[in-house]
Structure formats: C-alpha cells, structure tokens
C-alpha cells in the first residue's frame, strides 16, 4: 500500500471550507474537487519508498503489480477509473459527457487541429467515454436527465416568461394520442426545446425574474411535489446565474435529492448539473466535459447537442435495477452497470466489538431499498478484488491490513492499494469510530 495525495481543483463552484476541513488543507478560496487520479493530464502523487512518483508513471513501470493482469487485458496499463471527492457550494455547469464514438472522434479531431491539451477551449481531453456515479457524503442536490415530457410542460407552464412559453409550444407538439408511440417525435421535441434555451440570448433583467417566478410557482397550491422540486432547482440555478437562459433547462430535468449514502449513476450523454453538497464521485478515466451554460468556462453547445440523450427516464438509482447495492453491517457497496468502477462506503467502530449491529447508513439503506439490493451478514474483510483500489479515510482513524503491511489513515488521508495485495481488511485504529470510501474496478 502506498500513500497517495490528491490533485486539487479550485473551481468557482467549490466551498471555501468544506474540503479544507475534511482533508486538513490550507487552500484559499473555493476548493471544488480532490482527484485521486491516474489520468495522464492530472495524475496523483504516490509515496513509493520515500520517493514521489505519479500514479500514471507507477502503473506504466509495473503494470501487473500496480494494476493487475485483468485490468491490463481490458484497458491496458492504466487506472480505468478517476476518483474524486467533490463539494459544490453553488451550481456546476449544465453539462453532458461524450459517448464512446463521439469521444474518440472529437479527441482525434482536436489532436489533428493541434489544440493544446490544456487550452481552455479544448473539449476532448482524451478519447474515453465518460460515465460517472456519485455517492452522497451529506445531503446532495442535483438535476439529472429529462422528466417525462408532460411533466416538463407542466413545470415550464408555471414560469411566466416568453422563453418558457416557446419551449412549452415546442414540447406540446409531441403530446396527445397521435404522439403516444412516437418516441422519435418526443425526443425531437425535447431536443428542440432544450436547444432553444441553450442558444437563446436573453437579457439579464428578463432572466433575473425567473428566480422569483420559480419560487412563486413552487409554492403554488396544488403544485405536485416533483414539479415543485424541479422549479426550486431552477430557482437555485437562476440565483447563481441570473443572466443565463440555459437555466430554463433545469425545469425540464429530474430533480434529485440524495441523503448520506444514497447514490445516482449518470451514463454518458445524460444532461446533468450538481447544485449543492459533498460527495464521492467516480467515473471512467476521462476528463471530457461538454458545457451548455451556467459557467464561465468554454461552452461547446454543438458537441453537447450532438451527444445529448433526449429520452425521458428516471435517474439511475437503486430503484432502477441498474445500480446494484450490496449490504454488509459496516459497508455498502455500489455497483453500476459497467466494469470500470465501483465504490464501497464503510464504517468502523472498535468499541462495538464482534457483537456490533448495523451501521446507521447501511441499516437505513437496506431498510428503504431492500427490494433493489442484496443484504449479507456482518463482514470485516473487504472483498478480494483483482485490480487496483484507492481508499480515503473520511473521519476518525482507520487501519488497513494486507498480507504484508499495516497502514493507519486519519481523516483526509488516502492510500493506493495495488493489485498485488488482493485482500485488505479495514478496522478501527483508535477507540473511536471512523468512516472511509473505497474505489475499485468492478471486474
């Protein structure tokens, strides 16, 4: 096992204190993300026998030892996931991540045009499709994917604004008996309404009124709870970006509110934004982001629209059947429908000993989501994994024990566990409880 240090990302939407407090950092200004990364553009540093070496280089020098043969056979000598701890104090950009064919094509085109990889206008940093999952470490708000088309119309009708009216007109053309089985027509209408918003030029005074309009609409008598929440998310976006017409799109999207330990999976092509909260985020090893609005960064609306999935669908959480949960008394494991990554969120409490009951997070989730999940008995040994893992201590002190090593991690510290150490147990190192998050492949 090797100590690993995250790469700091200081973005405007981050918090001035949350990650600094959790990881005992001294960053001034908003700190948004901490990357535990083998990505070639931003690899984390490892402590290897007293020397610092970046993770991408370490894996290339000893791929079988560091990543494992199964990873090499599937993805080459690389870490197939990118793991982050993130904190949003204000909304992120309205964004989409590219699908596999579009990522490969876009990367090749920008390479051919000799756009520097660090150029702010560069959209494709790598040729990899980007799927991601977030597990909330505290209450977490997001908007993900599209509501059913009638719900979109209902939400937009509460907003007294010409742009919202035009979006309703577009969407209404895809409703009614004749459109019931016309999936192409529904998706086309959503595409047109979304495009209308993100390509509009609306003056600041008009858009500023959206916040008040959404606030009034969300409190209106008889407003369904899902619509009220979608409008409240639009209000939050409007307050952060009062002159940006893309905020109208938030009223078209599924509002997501996660409690601690709850999760959502976001496939490539799914429009989304995170509004507020702290979470563990894991994704395929890609830094590709296509933005349509709510940002001071480069907007690539043509490529975003080219990758946008316009099929209305609920967010992919455990109730979807696609995001699997496995429960142990002290660990919840989150397994999305792909092989590149999974997460485990765990707890240790030395005082409770062998007779301990269920951790509150694990217990709450298994009770509320039992029919979507698999519960197993208490177990202190993390499941053997054939590939690389990264473990981060979130609070307290944890003890990681492999066949050859013991390493204690306190709050904010992290370790890289190579494939050569397939079995690792986690326990308490002091007489106080602690918690951790573990990232791994799902092979």
Per the annotation, where are the binding residues for Zn(2+)? 95, 97, 132, 272
Known binding-site positions: 95, 97, 132, 272
For residue 213, what are the contacts with CB-CB under 8 A and spacing of at least 6? 158, 159, 160, 161
Write the DSSP assignment of 304-372 as a string of letters. HHHH--------BSGGGSSSEEEE-SSEEEEE-SSSS-EEEEEEE-GGGGGG----HHHHHHHHHSGGG
Q: Is 291 a residue of the active site?
A: yes
* Joined tokens for residue 30: 């908003």
Residue 224 DSSP one-character state: -
**Which phi and psi angles does 107 have, rounded to 5°?**
-65, -45
Relative to beta strand 272-284, strand 81-88 is antiparallel
**391 neighbors 409 (Cβ within 8 angstroms):** yes
Q: Pairing between strand 373-375 and 324-327?
A: parallel
Distances in Å between the Cα of 171 and the Cα atoms of 161, 176, 442 are 16, 11, 40
- In 3-state terms, what secondary structure has residue 185? helix
The residue among 405, 396, 414, 403 whose CA lies nearest residue 351 is 396
Residue with tokens 């590939």: 387
The two counts, helices (H) then strands (E), for the chain are 12, 23
Choose the catalytic residue: 291, 299, 366, 399: 291
* Residue 337: alpha-carbon gap to chain centroid: 15
Cα 290 from Cα 303, distance rounded (Å): 7
Q: Which of 144, 98, 128 is nearest to 291 (CA)?
A: 98
Would you please indicate which residues are annotated as catalytic (active-site) residues? 291
């Amino acid at each position: 096992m090797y100590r690993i240090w995250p790469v700091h990302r200081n973005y405007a939407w981050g918090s001035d204190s949350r990650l600094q407090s959790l990881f005992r950092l001294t960053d001034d200004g908003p700190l948004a993300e901490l990357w535990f990364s083998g990505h070639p553009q931003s690899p984390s540093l490892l402590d290897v026998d007293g020397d610092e070496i970046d993770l991408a280089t370490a894996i290339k020098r000893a791929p079988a030892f560091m990543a494992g043969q199964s990873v090499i056979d599937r993805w080459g000598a690389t870490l197939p996931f990118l793991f982050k701890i993130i904190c949003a104090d204000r909304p992120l950009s309205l964004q989409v991540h590219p699908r596999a064919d579009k990522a490969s094509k876009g990367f090749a085109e920008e390479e051919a045009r000799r756009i520097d990889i660090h150029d702010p206008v560069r959209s494709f940093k790598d040729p990899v499709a980007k799927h991601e999952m977030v597990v909330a470490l505290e209450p977490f708000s997001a908007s993900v994917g599209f509501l059913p088309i009638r719900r979109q119309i209902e939400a937009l009708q509460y907003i007294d604004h010409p742009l919202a009216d035009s979006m309703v007109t577009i969407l209404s053309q895809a409703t009614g008996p004749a459109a019931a089985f016309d999936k192409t027509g529904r998706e086309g209408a959503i595409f047109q309404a979304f495009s209308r918003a993100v390509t509009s030029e609306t003056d600041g005074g008009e858009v500023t009124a959206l916040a008040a309009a959404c606030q009034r609409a969300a409190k209106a008598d008889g407003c369904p709870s899902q619509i009220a929440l979608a409008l409240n998310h639009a209000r939050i976006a409007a307050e952060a970006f009062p002159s940006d017409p893309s905020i109208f799109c938030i009223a078209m999207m599924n509002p997501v509110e996660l409690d601690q330990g709850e999760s959502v999976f976001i496939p490539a092509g799914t429009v989304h934004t995170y509004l507020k909260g702290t979470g563990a985020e894991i994704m395929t090893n890609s830094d590709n982001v296509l933005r349509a609005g709510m940002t001071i960064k480069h907007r690539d609306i043509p490529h975003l629209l080219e990758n946008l999935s316009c099929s209305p669908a609920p967010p992919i959480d455990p109730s979807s059947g696609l995001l699997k949960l496995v429960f142990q008394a002290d660990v919840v494991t989150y397994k999305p429908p792909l092989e590149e990554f999974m997460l485990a969120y765990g707890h240790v409490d030395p005082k409770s000993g062998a007779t301990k009951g269920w951790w509150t997070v694990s217990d709450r989730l298994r009770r509320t989501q039992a029919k979507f999940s698999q519960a197993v008995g208490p177990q202190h040994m993390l499941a053997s994994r054939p590939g690389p893992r990264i473990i981060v201590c979130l609070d307290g002190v944890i003890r990681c024990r492999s066949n050859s090593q013991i390493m204690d991690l306190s709050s904010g510290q992290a370790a890289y566990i190579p494939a050569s150490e397939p079995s690792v147990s986690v326990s308490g190192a002091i007489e106080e409880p602690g918690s951790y998050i573990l990232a791994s492949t799902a092979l």
